[in-house]
Amino acid sequence: MLSSLALLIIGLIWYALAPSGTDFTMGPAEAFKATISGDPVGLICLGIMLLIATPLLRILVTLWTFLKLRDWKFVAISLTVLLVIATAILIKG
Amino acid sequence: MEIAVMFGLILIAILAGLLGSLLGLGGGVIIIPVLTLLFNVPMQEAIGASLIAVIATSTGSASYYVDQGLSNIRLAMVLEVATTIGSVIGALVAVYTDQYVLAAAFGFLLLYSSFYMLRRPENICLGPTGPCGPLDLSCSYDDKATHERVEYGVKNLGKGMLASAAAGGTSGLLGVGGGIIKVPVMNLWMGVPMRAACATSNFMIGVTALAGAIVYYQFGQIDPLLAGVVAVGAFIGAAIGTRTSHRFEGDQLKRVFGVVMILVAVLMFLKALGVIA
């Protein structure tokens, strides 16, 4: 969470100092390459992707907690949420 | 994007994150109108940026609220099942429905509920009322504003699930986190105290916005600079909001929320009339 914030802030300041023309989002590999080759937008994209991943991590952590607590009903509930989200992505994509 | 624009955007995003974290919203209800009306951002990009902002606000507040014990995680997960299903259906339905009719209907709904938020004082099930059907969702927390330990039970889960599905639907359609529906539903129907409702909503909306954000990102509907600026601002706003939330009592938050609902209702009517996109 904080790392995504850090990436974003650094990326934005870098952009402010040296704007690049890029205005589209990139996938992880591209963004990484872009950052290394000096495009701040690459870093920003990495930050955004990391940010998007956080709620997902949150569900996984919650799932893990319920597993440890052996609260099976809520393990099932958390898994269902994950499933629905995965389906949503697949349907719309 | 010029520095001045970035600066203005960050301030607005901070405000959105601040209000959002206090009230259980993602800030989308502020960000989308501002982006589309003031900054002339195309609707799709505005929604994309708003979804990112929702995640930022949610993430920025969730860890704090969870630590404080304010977020009712079990309730959040149960409702999220309905919400995520709702958002899928909502996105599919959106293709076939008249946006104007939807906006008008939403506006009336908000207006109607806002009166309840404004008039009725806190009406929570104090003391554990026992499991709500097969699930025990009761929870407790220490209220720093009133210095009491609050315990509450959760009721009306069925209605809550339906409403959450509807909230999920609006998320897909309007690019918001759905908090504007979830908070009143939890507080007015399910017996959750206002501060817990807001905190739980904050926990949920990040999850709700997740699927939408991924799709928008894949389809290139997100402007990285716009999203980045908005995310940073929302994050900061949320960090401030969560740490000042203890100064407010549930009833005060309720009233502010009611006012926000009225404002959003007005926006919805404007949208229905075609005045705004």
| CB-CB under 8 Å, A80 with B224 | no
Tell me which residue in A1, A24, A78 faces B77 most closely, judged by beta carbons.
A78
- pTM assigned to the model: 0.82
pLDDT in tens, B200-253: 888 888 888 887 788 777 777 778 888 888 888 898 899 888 888 878 777 788
Q: How far is B222 from chain A (nearest CA, A)?
A: 7
Token pair 């009611």 in the structure block, residue: B258
Q: Which of B117, B144, B160 is nearest to B253 (CA)?
A: B117
Query: How close A14 comes to chain B (CA, Å)?
Result: 12
Flag if A77 and B77 touch (Cβ within 8 Å).
yes
Q: Give the C-alpha separation, B138 to B151, whole Å.
A: 7
Instruction: Return phi, psi of residue B148, to 5°.
Output: -125, 160
A62·B77 Cβ contact <8 A: yes
| Residue of A3, A17, A25, A80 best to disrupt the B interface, most CBs of B under 10 A | A25
The pLDDT score that the predictor gives to residue B130 is 47
Q: Do the chains contact at B135 and A73, CB–CB below 8 Å? A: yes
pLDDT, one tens digit for every residue, chain B (277 residues): 677 888 888 899 998 888 888 888 877 778 887 887 778 787 778 888 888 899 989 888 888 888 777 888 888 888 888 888 887 777 676 666 666 776 777 777 778 778 777 776 665 555 544 444 455 666 666 666 666 666 676 777 778 888 888 888 777 666 667 788 888 888 888 878 888 888 888 888 888 888 778 877 777 777 888 888 888 889 889 988 888 887 877 778 878 888 888 887 887 788 777 776 5
Q: Provide Rg for chain B, Cα atoms.
A: 17
Q: Which chain A positions have a beta carbon within 8 Å of B63's beta carbon?
A: 1
Enumerate residues 6+ apart whose C-beta is below 8 A from B202.
B20, B21, B24, B57, B58, B61, B62, B65, B71, B179, B238
**Taking CB atoms and an 8 Å cut-off, how many pairs form between chains A and B?**
119
Q: Which residues of A touch B207 (CB under 8 A)?
A: 55, 58-59, 81, 85
- Chain B residues lying within 8 Å of A58, measured CB to CB: 59, 62, 203, 206-207
DSSP codes joined into one string, A49-65: HHHHHHHHHHHHHHHHH
Q: What pLDDT, on the 0 to 100 scale, is given for residue A20?
A: 63
Residues B217-241 as b or e (16 or more Cβ within 10 Å = b):
beeebbbbbbbbbbbbbbbbbbbbb
Find the angle CA(B262)-CA(B9)-CA(B47) to the nearest 5 degrees. 60
Per residue in A23-66, pLDDT (tens digit) is 666 677 777 777 777 777 777 888 888 888 888 888 888 898 88
* Torsion angle, alpha carbons of B242, B248, B250, B255, to 10: -100
What residues does each domain of chain A span? Answer: 2-92
Tell me the C-alpha to C-alpha distance, in Å, between residue B263 and each of B33, B113, B149, B159.
Answer: 11, 12, 33, 25
Q: Give pLDDT tens digits for B128-140.
A: 444 444 556 666 6
Which of A41, A43, A52 would you mutate first to test chain B, the one with the most B CBs within 10 A?
A52
Decide if A29 touches B, using CB distance below 8 A: no
Does the beta-carbon distance from A56 to B210 stay under 8 Å? yes
